[in-house]
Structure 1
Amino acid sequence: MYIKREEVNKENEEKEEAYEELWRKYIDIKTKINIPNNANKVQYLKGTLDNLPRNNITCIWVEEDNLCFFPAKPPEPISNDREYLRKQVQKIKQFKIPIDKIEYYKTKGEIVRENKISGGGGGGYSIKGAVAGALLAGGAGAIIGSRKKNEAIKSEMIEHDNREMLMSYIDNTNSRRSVYFEYSDFETLKELLPEKEYTVVDAIQNQNILKKEMDKNKSATEKIRALKSLLDDGILTEEEYQEKKKELLAKI
């Protein structure tokens, strides 16, 4: 027992030493990156942010048209093996997404409420009740005591929060990627990139579509006016004018 305890203590000491070494490396790398003092922190859940530990807090800020990420703390080591530590140090790095490659971010999911009913019953038997009844009233008491008492029906509302925030972006291979954060981090992204919020992006896209349609209609109208001038100048016949006009109107 004493030997095992010594082994456990030694293992804990080695892990602490490994973690201290990782912290030193982490501080060195963090200093070189020069993270702004006002950098926000978000809970990174899952996605394609290479090497960032999932379900962990990460720093987030905007720098030179990039949305930047850096772990708020080094990964916790499970071994003091040198090769293992070297690989863990490699994971401590900054991740950048060019802002113009970010498509949008939005919240998704919902709060699901479940009404859990418990209690009630009656008419059943319990072994515990039978033993107690036998002690108090002999064999007959075993039957009497084994009857379950009716329990009060209880209703409990259980809440499951499935909400989260999704950010969609295009990576350097032109593939669409998704990153998920805590639902509450939506406000942080609104502060950093208000123009990338989904409803804003959607509104801008709709405006662009409308503008294109208006430009298209305007262009067709101008061409019809030009045709009318050619007709008035006798360059086009009435038949040619009507035919060209019909073609332009069909494109609107």
Structure 2
Amino acid sequence: MGCLGVFLTILSGLILMVLFVEYTGLMIGILFAIITLGIILYNKASTKQKEVEIKLEEEKAKKKVWEDGNKRKYNIPQDAKLVRYYKGNPNINKGYIKFYTWKDEKNINFVDSEFNIDIGKVQMQLDDIKYYYIIGDIYNEMSIEGGGNGGSSLGGAVVGGLVAGGAGAVIGSRKKNDPIKTINKKVDERKTIVVIKENNKVFNMEFEGKTYDVLLELLPEKERDYVKIISTKENNEDWLYKQIEKLASLKNEGILTEEEFQGKKKALLEKI
């Protein structure tokens, strides 16, 4: 504050003191009026805030009634999961929406969480789901914010971040109200891909990465690696049984003795 500012502050204080001494009654009246006005304004603001809160609660209650009604309409169970769908299904004319999803005996079901009547309920037969898998990564991205006209250098912020560690350093600029910060942000670029074969047509549905965990809970047997293992095992078993049939034919033809046949058969069965 400069000399002029100090002078004006002192002068204002002196004027108020003189007015209070000379016009005590008037000043008390003014103060009372100011206090009364403040109380009125405070009460008015509090009343308005309460009205807003009541309105929000009413809207929240109405939304819950509306949601519960739609959940009953579509038979959505209490344990239905929320997943975010991106694109890929030709039967869904909208993308990047949230679905309630759950599994029954024959289908996996999807209902738009906003209950859009244009989408309604989408069902996919479990037999049409070939497999699902996840792609992409989660990683931490560091960004530098702040600085402004404070005068701190970007290099100083980077050095400070390295010294302070991954949590991010706050480097004070010359203006304390404008610090430079290093911010760590988690970036999730994963996508869950569900491969569908419907009416002899194959298409991929894309969901957010978190959907993978939901599907592991609902459809563990459709996870791609598990499907590969089961498929390989089934193929191996078919091959082994065919080999045993060939051995039996060789035994019947007298090429293998009973002892040789049983030994080779036992060795093959141990591979199952």
TM-score (norm 1): 0.55
- The alignment partner of 2:76 has SS state of coil
Deviations 1:142-190 (A, max 9, x none): xxxxxxx975265477764321111111112x11111111111211111
Q: Which residue matches 1:34?
A: 75
Say whether 1:61 aligns with 2:113.
Answer: no
Distance 2:154 2:71 in 1: 60
Any conservation in 2 of the 1:66–1:98 contact (CA below 8 Å)? Answer: yes
**Given the alignment, which residue of 188, 192, 207 partners 1:165?**
192
Q: Which residue matches 2:202?
A: 176
Deviations 1:71-103 (A, max 9, x none): 01145xxxxxxxxxxxxx3x1311111101111
Q: Kindly provide the amino acid, as one letter, of the partner of residue 104 in structure 1.
A: Y
Q: Which residue matches 1:50?
A: 91
Say whether 1:99 aligns with 2:126.
Answer: yes
Distance 2:100 2:90 in 1: 13
Distance 2:154 2:69 in 1: 62
Distance 1:191 1:230 in 2: 50
Report the alpha carbon displacement of residue 224 of structure 1 after superposing the two structures with TM: 0.8
Q: Kindly provide the amino acid, as one letter, of the partner of residue 223 in structure 2.
A: E
Q: Kindly provide the amino acid, as one letter, of the partner of residue 155 in structure 2.
A: A
Any conservation in 2 of the 1:49–1:95 contact (CA below 8 Å)? Answer: no
Equivalences for residues 147-162 of structure 1 within 5 A: 152=155, 155=158, 160-162=187-189
Q: Which runs of 5+ in 1 are unaligned?
A: 1-19, 76-88, 118-148, 232-252
- Supply the RMSD in Å over aligned alpha carbons: 3.5
The change in CA–CA distance for 1:52 and 1:192 in structure 2 (over 3 A counts) is farther
Any conservation in 2 of the 1:53–1:71 contact (CA below 8 Å)? Answer: no
Equivalences for residues 1-252 of structure 1 within 5 A: 31-48=72-89, 50-51=91-92, 53-75=94-116, 89=117, 91-111=118-138, 152=155, 155=158, 160-172=187-199, 174-228=200-254
Q: Kindly provide the amino acid, as one letter, of the partner of residue 113 in structure 2.
A: A
TM-score (norm 2): 0.51
Q: Kindly provide the amino acid, as one letter, of the partner of residue 194 in structure 1.
A: P
Larger radius of gyration: 2
The change in CA–CA distance for 1:165 and 1:178 in structure 2 (over 3 A counts) is same
- The alignment partner of 2:79 has SS state of coil
Distance 2:139 2:256 in 1: 68
Any conservation in 1 of the 2:250–2:256 contact (CA below 8 Å)? Answer: no
Aligned length: 166
